[in-house]
Amino acid sequence: MSKTPNEQLLFELIKSLTKSEKRSFKIYAKRSGSTNEAKFLRLFDAMDKLDQYDEVYLKKRLVDANDAQFANLKSHLYGQILASLRLSNLKYDIDIELREQLDYIRVLYKKGLYQQSLRLLNRAKNTTGDYRKDLFQLAILDYEKQIRSQQVFELNEAYVDDLDSQTENAFKRFSNVQRFFTLAIKMKARFVEHGTVKNEKELNNLRALFYTSLPEYDEDKLAFNEKFYLYRTFYWFSYLTYDFNSCVKYAEKWILLFYETGLDEKRKSGFLKGLNRLLQSAFRVDNLYVFNDYFEQLLSLESNNTQNSASNTGALFIKYKAIQTFNSIFLNKDFEENEEIVLGILEDVNQKVNTIDKHNLMVIYYKAGVYFFAIQDYQKANDYLNRVISEQEHLRSDLKGFSRIINILIDYDSGEIDQMELKIASALKYIGQEDNLGEFQKSFLGLIGDIGRIYPQNLRKSFLELKSHLERLKHNALDAKPLLYFDLISWLNAKIEGKSFLEIVKRD
């Protein structure tokens, strides 16, 4: 991955700011003794107006700053924006608030004001309990031991033993959380890089890795964070191995854990992620009842202004709403009537494009490409599919492979067959290199490549033979993997019956 220049980092930070955050930054800058004419504020305003970073333009706007001063201005502006964001997020981000409380506890301790330090410490301890913040609890217990050790005449052996017991339990919980969390990240990283398992060998290797990495545990005795990360771990393992019913099970446990503890409001980011996973899993198993029920819950968060409580939560909400809106359309088969809604969510995504990770952005673009293919808006379909194909990062080779396949289908359906042979050869080469070339893709692309050599009167027969072959493969989860990405059999049925792809999708 190439290193991003510092000035680009500053530009991205400015472009990620909401109107409210920009307003708060200006107020912060003025309160800190600056004026509207301060150089770093002029630099901020100039950068805010740009669509792309342009250093020549910026230097013309700050002719009174030499090169060294200009570099210092950028660094100072970056620091000032971060300081302003920290203040404006205090009331939204419990981690920032707790770190501030720890700083105050430390300051009072160093001044010898032990009673005042303990007073703040007890307040912070209650907050860590309310939010189940294990790492902060460890830090607070450590401070408490330090403070108590200075109060010679108030030392109590039983109290020290209790502190030691609390610390030992907190360490054990934290250790479990870290092992569950590390394994969950490993599973997710494998999915992002390579997609789901492709063959029996990969499946067996993954099972061995997963079960040998799990620590021993008794689910009933686990605390909130232990359960939270345990469910995340099992979710990703189940997703990678096509066990989507287990995905529903663990994602629903994840969501209910938040509801039962009341942390759906206090830790909105973790709750939103679980809700997205549950919807994705219900979509995979075609569980319309579960999907529609929880999709309503997702949409209700918008009317409750949940997405505005913090910028991170806002970005999560926008990308999850986009992904699940497409899933809702595909599951409920209401394509044409939702075109205006689709255009609206894609505009929302475009507004937040710098705050959405590339993985989820590729998912959104791919689903948009499939949607526009279904309604036969081939220009928009190609636009979004090409965004997936052209992504330079080594991410989601599975999506890139299927984007190429649908791109070929667009050429065939629209009669633009001049470049088809080259595209088919390119698709076969790419999918083969990425080790994603299964029997489904090979057979399908093989027929498409041979279409020009098949007599028109034999074409329907060839489609029927391929359909029969692919339907036999459906019974094996690994072989049927391509149907998770695109319904190739429905496309074949459309050709066989002389109907549109959308007509077949709605009927079946």
pLDDT of residue 2: 41
H-state helical runs in 196-308: 200-213, 224-240, 244-261, 263-266, 268-284, 288-303
Distances in whole angstroms, Cα of residue 331 to Cα of each of 205, 323, 334, 362, 492: 33, 12, 8, 20, 20
Q: How many CA atoms lie within 13 A of 401 on its CB side?
A: 26
- What pLDDT, on the 0 to 100 scale, is given for residue 420? 72
* pLDDT for 127: 80
Long-range contacts of 432-435 (CB under 8 A, 24+ apart): 434/397, 434/398, 434/400, 434/401, 435/194, 435/198
Tokens 């997020």 appear where? 89
- Return the pLDDT at 264: 83
Token readout for 450 is 């041979």
88-128: per-residue pLDDT in tens? 777 777 788 888 888 999 999 888 898 898 899 988 888 88
Residue 433: HSE in the Cβ half-sphere, 13 Å Cα cutoff: 10
> CA angle at residue 383 from 379 to 384, to 5 degrees?
125
The pLDDT of residue 396 is: 79
Tell the residue number behind the tokens 């490549």, with chain if given. Answer: 449
pLDDT tens-digit map of 195-214: 778 778 888 889 998 999 99
Structure tokens at 380: 């928009």
DSSP secondary-structure letter at 62?
A: T
Note the pLDDT of residue 462: 81
Q: What's the rounded Cα separation, in Å, for the pair 19 and 17?
A: 7
Q: What is the CA radius of gyration of the chain?
A: 28
Other beta carbons within 10 angstroms of residue 16's beta carbon come to: 16
- Kindly give the parts of the chain with pLDDT less than 70: 1-7, 32-37, 130, 151-155, 303-311, 417, 433-438, 449-458, 476-484
Going by C-alpha positions, the residue among 145, 140, 148, 142 that lies closest to residue 115 is: 148
What the block records as the tokens of 473 is: 């493969």
Residue 467 confidence (pLDDT)? 82
